Amino acid sequence: MIQKIDDYRFLIPKSYKTGMRIDGLIYADEEMIKHIEKDQTKEQVANVATLPGMIGRSLAMPDAHQGYGFCIGGVAAADIEEGVVSAGGVGFDINCGVRLLSSPFMENEVRPKLEQLLNQLFRDIPCGTGRSGLLEVTKAELDNVLIDGASWAVRNGYGNEEDLKHIEEYGKIPGADPSLVSSRAKERGHDQLGTLGSGNHFLEIQVVSEVYDEETAKNFGMRKNQIVVLIHSGSRGLGHQVCTDYLDIMQEGMKKYGIKVVDRQLACVPIKSKEGKDYLAAMAAAANFAFANRQMITHWTREAFQRIMGNGDLKIVYDVCHNIAKFEEHDIDPEIFGTDGGKKKVLVHRKGATRAFPKGHKALPEELQKFGQPVLIPGSMGTCSYVLVGTEQAMKETFGSSCHGAGRAMSRAQAKRETSAEKLLQQMKSQNILVRAQTKSGLTEEKPDAYKNVSEVVEVVHNAGIAKKVAKMTPIAVMKG
């Protein structure tokens, strides 16, 4: 049975399922937990707790829903000596993430030219399933992208050095090895650099509609009624293929290392094994591709603003990963986790979860040291998005993690059955939101009520103290694949 700890935390004790090594914990309110219990999320949280070397708790954020192996919205940390790495704990879209750009414009300045601006962005930034980018890199150059990430893009004229300070890991995850990325993955990715993709990926022009923390918002370069741009994209076909390749390798590896799992989707190998090291090096390469991808989209967004608005000086507020596994040092609190305490280097899996480091953390650039890391939470199309800031509480409880969005409430097939593109476009128009989409079916899959209420999700993490609200943004123009 799930045990309610308080209004925002529900415990899955080790006694819930045979083989659980640690407890599970779901962040939710009373209504959300009812919804979460309707699919396999709870079971997946418990299943992750059975994996070798997991420490602390197996966690699910309030936007959690059923995924491949791990739930989406799942966080788990593994001891680097005894633990395992699981490709399902990162997911298929490696370093799917979001980037927020602040503009020098207020809403009243952009509204008269909004349609022109959206059309320019739609022309300049390729989007949609399998869509090719504006430049095709050679195979040799692609290897450099996989090693250097956003730095490669900046070096090639797509941005500036200042941009890199405002990207998680400075836009480059160390240890990437392109030789461990298959030729099939490279084939899928070499012409997709600088593309938005499809599904829930988007570019939105938004207005800062509410500010909850004036001082922090000012530090982030945000103010009420300001125009900002939110970009949501990942590693495209390259990352998907890396995950596919290593799931097969891990299935074989489990036989070699004598690992048994309760769900074959949790295929994993020891972190220190050759297969484990190879996956992490290939995953880092795919993550770096995604950083470069968002950097190039940023460049073309700036060019579109320059062309239509006469000023392309858009600054990166921050760029966060949603699907990643990273080595981090955490102070394990024995009172919270019921285990030995002290500083420990762990491999944190975040799948549909956002890093949320507090002020003073060494991973943050100097200008964020006094405030903490921006945590970007996109909502569903036509609703709203949020900027939060990381907290010390998150470091104690969630390995410095928070939610990543609204979380799906219905399948894509159901969403398509329940509405038409025409009806959805009419709804957006009634809200004074412009929309450009590559396909009508892609639009209906992403209708607003296909997702949970992002404001309710944000209230849970805010009230639980694992991230604090800074600002709310409302869309005025949406671009989708």
pLDDT in tens, the chain (481 residues): 899 999 999 999 999 999 999 999 999 999 999 999 999 999 999 999 999 999 999 999 999 999 999 999 999 999 999 999 999 999 999 999 999 999 999 999 999 999 999 999 999 998 866 556 667 788 889 999 999 999 999 999 999 999 999 999 999 999 999 999 999 999 999 889 989 987 788 999 999 999 999 999 999 999 999 999 999 999 999 999 999 999 999 999 999 999 999 999 999 999 999 999 999 999 999 999 999 999 999 999 999 999 999 999 999 999 999 999 999 999 988 877 777 778 899 999 999 999 999 999 999 999 999 999 999 999 988 899 999 999 999 999 999 999 999 876 667 677 777 778 888 888 888 999 999 988 777 677 777 777 779 999 999 999 999 999 999 999 999 998 7
In sequence order, the 6+-apart residues with CB closer than 8 A to the CB of 248 are: none
Q: Is 400 left (phi over 0), alpha (psi -120 to 50) or beta?
A: left
**pLDDT value for 332:** 87
* Cα separation, 475 vs 455, whole angstroms: 14
**pLDDT value for 134:** 67
Catalytic residue numbers, as ranges: 404
Between CA 236 and CA 437, with CA 286 as vertex, the angle to 5 degrees is 20
Matching residue, tokens 């090895």? 177
Total-model pTM: 0.95
Rg of the chain taking only CA atoms, in angstroms: 21
**Strand bridging mode 342-351 / 226-233:** unpaired
CB-CB contact of 26 with 40 (8 Å)? no
**pLDDT value for 145:** 98
